[in-house]
Amino acid sequence: MPVFRPRPRASAPLRLATLAALLAFVAPAGTSCSGGSSSRGGGAPPVGVPVDDVLLYPFVGSKSVLMIVVSFQDGPALFPTTAEGENKVRAIRDDVVDAYDKDSYGTLSLDIDYTWPPLLIDKKMSDYSPTSALVHVRADAIAAAKKAGYDVDSYDREVLFSPKVWPSGARGWIRTAWMPHTLRWVLVHELGHTLSRGHADFWDGIPNGAGTRVEYGDIFDPMGSGQLWSRRLVSNPWFKLRAGWLDPSDILTVEQTGRYTLTSLENPDPTEGPTAIRIRRDGMSDYWLMYRSTEPLAADGPIIVRATTNPYDPTYLLDMTRGQVANEVEDAALGRGQTFDDAATNGITVTNVSQPGDPFLTLDITVDAARQLALDLPPRIDVLSPPRDAGPVSGVVDFEVASSDLDVDDTNGAGIQKVTMNLFLPSQDPPPVLASQEFLAPPYKMSFDTAAGTTPDNFYYLEVISEGADGGQNQVWFRVIIDNYTGTLP
């Protein structure tokens, strides 16, 4: 039986380039949840220019965040205007900085400023319409911060601490987090949404069969419930990889049967094995295997997460030990001597043959090699306009994407039969579609006048569906904020 041999870790300058190459071979999309980043502006590349991947969302190096604390005429701020109130703001800042430093292995350094004392917005909370409150409170808070002398546009992210004016809870959308309370682990979660992450859910049922989605049910991940905040939650390797926090050379894609070692996700050791193992499950999703060596509930075996490559889809923590404890998620890891059997459907099994005391996991993995080779590479999709970190849009907006089928080539339009773009409002059921257009050749560009008709200021999704000539399909949802209100402010 083949045994995985550790490889040297790639040097830092190669990390993002290697990540782009690795993402080229990751499976396609599904459907669901949060926002995106790139300094690249709008404008479609001509046919023949390579297409980047919307999944690539590096957030490394030094990044800045402004926490904007506001109050209104008819309600107090979330923090009292006292030394104690400011200390609470600082404590939240320090915990968030620490959480992201640990989760990113020090590749991300957050510099967080905050407005103090709280900025008074000259409105009542009741002045805002529930439909557009999130957008309009954001605009008023940013205007107040600019008036107070803060260069808001120079920051990479903004966090709005505000009494709850809008009907929903905390939110994260594109580059902004809305916080109607002071729970710091929720802020870590909402900032994760601004890194183009969906939720970390739990699949309560047969790992490869019938079950129920438990939203936020992954207690081990910041994009889940946050139940284990005191243990410093650790993002799954799919999220880490896309952010550039996990070295691509530490991801092993298993394409043949063998015995493999898996090192700790908290403390990667490339001399012992990869930090994560990926197995293509089918044409729509992957299995990601990780080892949480410092987490008491998962220290004896791998956690297995199923993920699609729609950047807003949830990931699903799978339960490897059904019916053993009342709260199924607490023994989700694959224990020693146990086997995860997905052979009948997808040709995959994973057996934990680790020995007590080993600093790594040892796994016997079987795959159907012929089936793995036959899995289609889905079309690659990139969103060119609006730029992924640009914030809200207004007036006439050009929505522009690029796509290519990697089975043919990586240039715009190569192997693509059709691209469909839909702009829709996700807060209603069924979601109303504001604009829709199909394209049979590039450029894939749809114009929409956000100020025409009765389009409300709100959160929207740009849905992009790319169909390859070989029958392969991919789908992404890209977050958009329509804001025609800011332009009316003095």
Boundaries of every domain in the chain: 61-193, 198-374, 379-488
Strand 315-318 vs strand 303-307: parallel, antiparallel, or unpaired? Answer: antiparallel
pLDDT digits (tens, 9 = 90+) for 89-99: 999 999 999 99
Predicted confidence band at 272 (pLDDT cuts at 50, 70, 90)?
confident
% of the chain with per-residue pLDDT over 70: 90
Predicted confidence band at 406 (pLDDT cuts at 50, 70, 90)?
confident
Predicted confidence band at 354 (pLDDT cuts at 50, 70, 90)?
very high
Report the pLDDT value the prediction gives residue 337, as an integer from 0 to 100: 96
Measuring CA to CA, which residue among 194, 216, 438 is closest to residue 315? 216
Report the pLDDT value the prediction gives residue 26, as an integer from 0 to 100: 45
Give one DSSP letter per residue of 376-412, joined into a string: PPPEEEEEEES-TTS--B-SEEEEEEEEEETTT-SBT
> CATH class for domain 379-488?
mainly beta
Query: What average pLDDT does the segment 303-319 reach?
Result: 92
- Does the pLDDT of residue 268 top 90, yes or no? no
Strands (DSSP E) along 229-386, which ranges? 251-253, 258-262, 276-280, 286-290, 303-307, 315-318, 339-342, 348-352, 361-367, 379-385
% of the chain with per-residue pLDDT over 90: 74
Measuring CA to CA, which residue among 388, 458, 425 is closest to residue 138? 458
Report the pLDDT value the prediction gives residue 21, as an integer from 0 to 100: 47
Adjacent-strand bridge partners of 279: 287
Residues 423, 433: Cα–Cα separation, whole Å: 6
The count of other CB atoms within 10 Å of the CB of residue 130 is 10
Residues 339, 342: Cα–Cα separation, whole Å: 9
Report the pLDDT value the prediction gives residue 48, as an integer from 0 to 100: 60
Residues 175, 169: Cα–Cα separation, whole Å: 17
Residues 217, 151: Cα–Cα separation, whole Å: 38
Average pLDDT of the residues of the chain: 89
Residues 485, 480: Cα–Cα separation, whole Å: 15
Report the pLDDT value the prediction gives residue 274, as an integer from 0 to 100: 95
Report the pLDDT value the prediction gives residue 248, as an integer from 0 to 100: 86
pLDDT digits (tens, 9 = 90+) for 1-24: 444 434 344 444 444 444 544 555
pLDDT digits (tens, 9 = 90+) for 89-148: 999 999 999 999 999 999 999 999 999 999 999 999 999 999 999 999 999 999 999 999
Query: What average pLDDT does the segment 241-257 reach?
Result: 93
**258-262 β-sheet, strand order:** 258-262, 361-367, 348-352, 339-342
Contact predicate 6/285, CB 8 Å = no
- Does the pLDDT of residue 350 top 90, yes or no? yes
Contact predicate 179/157, CB 8 Å = no
Strand 157-161 vs strand 176-179: parallel, antiparallel, or unpaired? Answer: parallel
Helix (H) or strand (E) holding 93: helix 83-103
Residues 298, 123: Cα–Cα separation, whole Å: 49
pLDDT digits (tens, 9 = 90+) for 169-208: 999 999 999 999 999 999 999 999 999 999 999 999 999 8
Cα distances (Å, whole numbers) of residue 292 to 251, 300, 409: 15, 9, 38
Report the pLDDT value the prediction gives residue 310, as an integer from 0 to 100: 81
What is the CA angle 459-464-470, rounded to 5?
A: 165
Query: What average pLDDT does the segment 332-344 reach?
Result: 96
- Does the pLDDT of residue 488 top 70, yes or no? yes
Predicted confidence band at 389 (pLDDT cuts at 50, 70, 90)?
confident
Report the pLDDT value the prediction gives residue 480, as an integer from 0 to 100: 95
Token pair, residue 478, equals: 């890209």
What is the CA angle 74-114-241, rounded to 5?
A: 120
Burial zone of 309 (CB within 10 Å; 0-12 exposed, 13-18 middle, 19+ buried): buried
Token pair, residue 130, equals: 């529930």
Measuring CA to CA, which residue among 307, 314, 338, 345 is closest to residue 324? 338
Query: What average pLDDT does the segment 473-477 reach?
Result: 90
- Does the pLDDT of residue 250 top 50, yes or no? yes
- Does the pLDDT of residue 37 top 60, yes or no? no
Token pair, residue 267, equals: 């403390």
